[in-house]
Each structure stands twice: as structure tokens, then as C-alpha cells.
Amino acid sequence: MYDREIKERIKRINDTFRVLVVTGPRQVGKTTLLESMMPANMTRVSLDDEALRREAKENPKIFLETYRPPLFIDEVQYAPELFPYIKMKVDAEDKTGMYWLSGSQAFSLMKGVSESLAGRAGIVEMNSFTYSEIRRAIKGKIPFDPESIVATKDNIDVNEVYERIFVGGMPELYRLKNLDREEFFNSYLNTFIERDVRRIKDIGSLEDFRRFMKDLAIRNGKPLNYSAIASEIGVSSKTIKEWVSVLVSTRIIYLLQPFYSSKLARLTHRPEVVFMDSGLACYLTDWESAFDLQTSEYAGPFLEAYVISELVKSYDNVGKRINFSYLRNKETEEIDLIIEKNQYLHPFEIKKTANPKKEMLNNFRFLERTEKKIGDGGLICLYDRMYEIGDGLYVLPLSSVIDSHQ
């Protein structure tokens, strides 16, 4: 079994809250991880079972008397009727770790939590594997910190980078070595659209939604243009915005927000699309191999999106929030990533190059007009060692960002 970085966070929440809630997309390993961590006296029930689901919906009070805490309820979003009764149970006993709730339909699950379990539940958002988890090297793993940049000994060559981007981080692809990648993602996509999306939104044409996801995947690592996608799919911009919100709420995509400053003119207000699992994005864009992606015009944006998704996953795993953004003006001058921390702006470029040049960081000058404090930053690339390229500016091997260790 692959170890998961998020385990320590789950343990902390279980020791602190009466209810633990674990949400995230399908197939990212929620059930597998929680089963491995269950106390010996805990019972697990899954509402994927039709009979149990019916019982939970029709007789929630009796259901919770039959299955007593500590209790792990998987796919709990199928029976929102349980939430008020869970509230009564935890208020009566006031013990930590009474209920574990998990589900892949985050929108439905979180609605029940916010209405009935506010203040009683600790919430964990789980993602597919990080690079370090795939390498089985999570001991000492820390999220990348722009205030304390750590060099790593192990470098990642370009071929390995794009192989990881191409395959992605879905646990089943690593657990079952003979599992066909194409078959896996085809089944995954069908199940996601037919079971998760349809429960959240009446999307009408399944084929239109699939085409929408393919069109969005082509824009992985690029600004989101609602009207352009709407024109290509043949639906309204309003519909595209609603569909995007479904993918955000189900953690399929992350929207990197545009940097804003009243001191800077002509900035774009469009967020940037980041697929949280790069393998799904590659499947949707029909790449037949990692090499095909690596040698294409999309290699740069997909690398950028991969780095950002790894950073988001790393911070989710330890339960820390941080302000990520990007800057782009109407002249298409851009800063790929700005990390705001302790009132400092830390700018970074992300490039598929092993030949770093200081000129690649010229756009950082725009931040001087914001009158905010500028912290360390640099160039995240495929060079094999870290070094200072300017005052407070560094060349950062990819491993120093996505695989940083103490």
C-alpha cells in the first residue's frame, strides 16, 4: 500500500473533532486510506449498497441506532437525511472521532455538513497521489515554502516529468500494474458524468458535457475563456460557467485566480484552468504517449499546471491555506505564479528549460508598481541544481518545489 501524506492531518482532526469528513474526487483513495486507519472497534458501512442506502434515507434514526459509533459511513451524501440525526448523536455524547463520513460528491456532502454539522466536523479534501507519494518518499516531505527554499538531492529529468504528467496520480494505476490507462479513464469519466455530475446539475446532453471537458483540458495551464468554449460547444456562456463550477466543486479542476492590484492597469480577470489530476487532462486531450505531449506546443502549459496542482495538493495534505495567483496583462506579459505570504509577494516563472537565463524573470518588474513588499522568487525549471541567479532570485530544479524534504 502507498503511504499518504494526509494521514497525519486526518489523525489530528479525529483527535479534535467529533466528526471527520473526507471528501474528494472518485478513485483518489479515500476509502482505502480510511479503512487502513480505522480503530479496531469502528464499523464501516457504504451507502453504495442499495439496501443500506434505502434504510438510511427512510429510517435515519433507526439506522444510527443499529450502527453505533464509532462508525465510518462511506458515500454518505446519498442519504442527507442522516445529518440531523448525526448532529443529535454527537451533541449528546460529545466525544471525538465518533463518526467518519466520506464521499465523492463534495457539493452534496458539504451542503449537509454546513447545515447540520457546522463546528462539529473537521473537513479534509483529498486528492490523487502527489509525486512524492508515487515515489514512496513522503518521510520528511514539506510543502514548498518561498520563505525557506530547500534544495533537494534527487533531480527529475524531463522524461520522468512528462511520464508523471501523462499517467497522473490516480492510485489504481499504480496499485494495479496491468490496468489499461485508457480503459481506466474512460470508465472513470463515464461514472463521474453519469453519477456525480447528474446528481449536482441537470446537464442535458452528456455528449456536450464530455466535449466541454475535452475543450477545457486543451486549456490546461491557460486562462479560461467562457465565451470561446461556449462557441465551440454550442451552448451559452452561462451554461459553461455553471459546468465549470461543477468541476471546481468536485475537485476535478482548480482555478488559479488572477492577481489584482489597483496600481496595475490592463490586467486580465480570467482565472487559469488547472486539472488536479494531469493524467485525466492528458486522456481528455488524446495524447497517446508522454513523449507526444513532451514534444508538443502544450508541453509548457501542462508543466505549469502540473506544478501548481502539486503545490495545491501539498498544502491540502497538511491543512494549510495559501494565496496562489498569476499575473497577465493585455499585452500577454505574464508571471506564472505569485505566492502571497506574510504580506510579501513571491514571484515564480515555470518553464520547460534546462538553460535558465535571468531575462526569463524580467516580468517580475511589474510587481514593483504594486508598492507591496517583494520576497524571494525565481525560475522553476528542469535545471539540475539550485543557485542564486539574482538578488533574492533563484533557479529552482523542479524537485525543489514538488518534492521538497527537510
Q: Which amino acid is at 372?
A: K
The percentage of residues in the chain with a pLDDT greater than 70, rounded to a whole number, is 98
pLDDT-derived band at 198, boundaries 50, 70, 90: confident
pLDDT-derived band at 153, boundaries 50, 70, 90: confident
Q: Which amino acid is at 389?
A: I
Tell me, what's the pLDDT at 344? 95
Domain ranges of the chain: 7-125, 131-402
The mean per-residue pLDDT over the stretch 155-172 comes to 96
- Computed from CA positions of residues 227, 198, 216, 300, in that sequence, does the dihedral angle turn out positive or negative? positive
Cβ atoms 25, 250 nearer than 8 A: yes
Tell me, what's the pLDDT at 102? 93
Per-residue HEC secondary structure of the chain comes to CCCCCCHHHHHHHHHHCCEEEEECCCCCCHHHHHHHHCCCCCEEEECCCHHHHHHHHHCHHHHHHHCCCCEEEECHHHCCCHHHHHHHHHHHHCCCCCEEEEECCHHHHHHHHHHHCCCCEEEEECCCCCHHHHCCCCCCECCCCCCCCCCCCCCCCHHHHHHHHHHCCCCHHHHCCCCCHHHHHHHHHHHHHHHHHHHHCCCCCHHHHHHHHHHHHHCCCCECCHHHHHHHHCCCHHHHHHHHHHHHHCCCEEEEEECCCCCCCCECCCCEEEECCHHHHHHHCCCCCHHHHHCCCCHHHHHHHHHHHHHHHHHHHHCCCCEEEEEEECCCCEEEEEEEECCEEEEEEECCCCCCCHHHHHHHHHHHHHCCEECCEEEEECCCCCEEEECCEEEEEHHHHHCCEC
The mean per-residue pLDDT over the stretch 195-212 comes to 85
The mean per-residue pLDDT over the stretch 183-206 comes to 87
Q: What is the β-pairing status of strands 99-103 and 393-397?
A: unpaired
pLDDT-derived band at 108, boundaries 50, 70, 90: low
Tell me, what's the pLDDT at 107? 60
Task: Output the DSSP codes for 52-84.
Answer: HHHHHHH-HHHHHHHSPSSEEEETGGG-TTHHH
The 10s digit of each residue's pLDDT in 306-333 is 999 999 999 999 999 889 999 998 877 8
Asked if the model's pLDDT at residue 105 lies above 80, the reply is: no
Tell me, what's the pLDDT at 113? 76
pLDDT-derived band at 169, boundaries 50, 70, 90: very high
The residue that leads in pLDDT, 4 or 77, is 4
Asked if the model's pLDDT at residue 264 lies above 90, the reply is: no
Name which of 48-52, 200-204, 243-247, 271-275 the model is least confident about.
Answer: 200-204
CATH number given to 7-125: 3.40.50.300
The 10s digit of each residue's pLDDT in 15-69 is 999 999 999 999 999 999 999 999 999 999 999 999 999 999 999 999 999 999 9
pTM, two decimals, is: 0.94
Asked if the model's pLDDT at residue 364 lies above 70, the reply is: yes
Q: What is the β-pairing status of strands 323-328 and 344-350?
A: unpaired
d(CA 353, CA 65): 60
d(CA 223, CA 254): 12
The residue that leads in pLDDT, 53 or 1, is 53
Tell me, what's the pLDDT at 115? 77
Q: What is the β-pairing status of strands 43-46 and 71-74?
A: parallel
Tell me, what's the pLDDT at 106? 64
Cβ atoms 5, 131 nearer than 8 A: no
Asked if the model's pLDDT at residue 194 lies above 90, the reply is: no
Tell me, what's the pLDDT at 86? 96
C-alpha pair distances (Å), 166 with each of 187, 299, 300: 17, 11, 13
Tell me, what's the pLDDT at 130? 97
d(CA 308, CA 293): 18
| Separation of first and last alpha carbons in the chain | 24
The 10s digit of each residue's pLDDT in 219-229 is 999 999 999 99
**Average pLDDT over the chain, rounded to an integer:** 93
Cβ atoms 47, 76 nearer than 8 A: yes
Asked if the model's pLDDT at residue 265 lies above 90, the reply is: no
For helices 226-233 and 237-249, the axis angle rounded to 10 degrees is: 110
